[in-house]
Every structure is written in structure tokens, then in C-alpha cells.
Amino acid sequence: MKLVHRGKVKDIYEIEEDRYLFYFSDRISAFDIQMNTLIPRKGEVLCRFGEFWFRTLDTENHMIAIQGPNKMIVKGLNMIPLECIVRGYFYGSMVDRFAKSAENFASLGDFNPVLAGKLPTPIFDPTTKSQEHDVPINERDIVSRGILSQKILDYVKETSIHLYKNMSVVAEKAGFIIADVKFEFGRDRVNGNILLADSLGPDEFRLWRKSEYNPGKIQESYDKQILRDWIIKTGFKDVIDISVKDRFKPTAPVIPAKIINELSERYVYAYEQITGNKLN
């Protein structure tokens, strides 16, 4: 096998023409910065969660088979260079962006923002896809820059919102809320069809327990938000923001053992509760 890409979280190997192997590592990233600390069992959870969603959702995807605890064989695609984010709750980066310019979210109408409050309707909030730093992009610029035609953009947008709603129903039955989720899509190299791609796990969605949900405050998360919160609390987020502006790569801090254990336990718990499957 030939290593063709080493990402922040997973490694991609070429098996044969148009066939690739995803190796889901225990690496973790936050705010587009790869940490130097591994999270036990994280790779296994991401792989198995991806398998669950690809088999559960009614959308054609690129998964072919699962190999071992943390490897997935997929069909090669020509990837669409967008992170197709759908938000159902007022949280995360949306809060700061709304404060700076509510016009970015005009589709919400006369919206009264409450931290972690449910939005009147899920919104499509895409970003560019970059190895360095993803940035928000509006639908008008996606079309004007030739990234997608209006027809394909409409399809990707409608599909993303549809998938978010379906995932939310599954999660709610297990006692969870999916606050937002990131999808990726690619074109089949043979017939040009657009397929759901990449992976779908706690690195791609923000997950809360319904029993703990309390609008107006920071929510307890069952994803990597614990790490994001720690990074903000320690002040490293300020360093990241400066690095983006001044274009330098910051040195990631060592994640405390308590955060590592909590992350691992919550990843496993979320997987087992939502899928009904047990990890060996």
C-alpha cells in the first residue's frame, strides 16, 4: 500500500486504482491544530461510528468495507472542496460570527439568540476545506468562484440538511442532541454521482445529552468540545488566533491525563449509546 495522505486524524493509503484504505488514528485536533497527545480508542470509535452512519443513512456513500477495528476501505472520489456544515443550535463559532455580523445568518429572520438555543430551522453554513485553516464561505461565493454550480450547490445543501435531520432523529432516540455536523461529499470517478464521503463521528458533530441540555449556558459535550474548552481556558486559543493572523505554526500543548481519559470515555459512551453496539 502507498501512503497518499497523512491528515490531522487519519491516514489514507492507496490499495489499487480508485480504492483506498482509511486508517483512523488516535490523534486529535482542535481549531485546526493537531495535538501531540493520543486519545485511546478514538480511532476505533471514529471508524465504527462512520460505518454505523453510512449504513443507517439513506444516501449513497463511498464506504466499501471495514477492516479490523479502525480501518475502512472506500471508493476513490473527486472530493468537493467544502466542509458542508449544518447547524441546528446557536453554539460554537456561530456565536462570535453572529455577534460580528448577523447579516451572515439572514435566513434565520428575526432571531433572538440564546447560547445553545435551538435555531428556528437548521441552516447550511459551509466553509472552505484546507489543511491549514477552514474559513466560512457563503453560497454566492461558492458559485461565483466556480467551486460548484448553483444546481450542485442546491443538491449538496438540501442533502446535508436532510442528513442532519435524519441523524438527529436517531440520536434523540438514544437520548442525545446533535447540535451541528460537518459533511463532506465527492464525485464518483466513473459516473459523476455525488456521494457522501470522509467519516461521521464525534470529530464531525457536536453531541449533547438531552437530560443535561440547558439553553443559555455552556453544554456538556460528548465529542471533542471538552478539548476545545480546555484550549480556550488555558489561553492557547489566543495563540492559535494570533498564529492564523501572523501565519506561523504554534506548538501544541500537552493534554492533561484527566482530559485524555474523559475524552476517551465519552467517545466510547456516545458510540455505544447511539448505535446500541459494544466495543470489544
186: domain CATH number is 3.30.470.20
Tens-place pLDDT, residues 128-163: 986 656 789 999 999 999 999 999 999 999 999 999
120 located within any domain: yes
Residue 194: C-alpha distances to residues 128, 148, 154 (Å): 18, 12, 12
48 located within any domain: no
Domain limits at 105?
A: 78-212
The total number of residues shown for the chain amounts to 280
**Crossing angle of the two packed helices 225-234 and 257-275, in degrees rounded to 10:** 160
Tell me the mean pLDDT in the region 28-37: 90
Alpha carbons 200 and 184: distance in angstroms, whole number: 9
- Say if residues 44 and 279 touch (Cβ distance below 8 Å): yes
230 located within any domain: no
148 located within any domain: yes
- pLDDT tier, 107 (very low <50, low <70, confident <90, very high otherwise): confident
Q: What's the distance, Cα to Cα, between the start and end of the chain in Å?
A: 27
Predicted TM-score (pTM) of this structure: 0.92
Structural domain count, the chain: 1
Residue 147 is predicted with a pLDDT of: 95
Residue 280 is predicted with a pLDDT of: 78
Helix segments in the chain, DSSP class H:
42-56, 93-100, 139-144, 150-173, 225-234, 236-246, 257-275
30 located within any domain: no
Mean pLDDT of the chain: 94
265 located within any domain: no
259 located within any domain: no
173 located within any domain: yes
- pLDDT tier, 1 (very low <50, low <70, confident <90, very high otherwise): confident
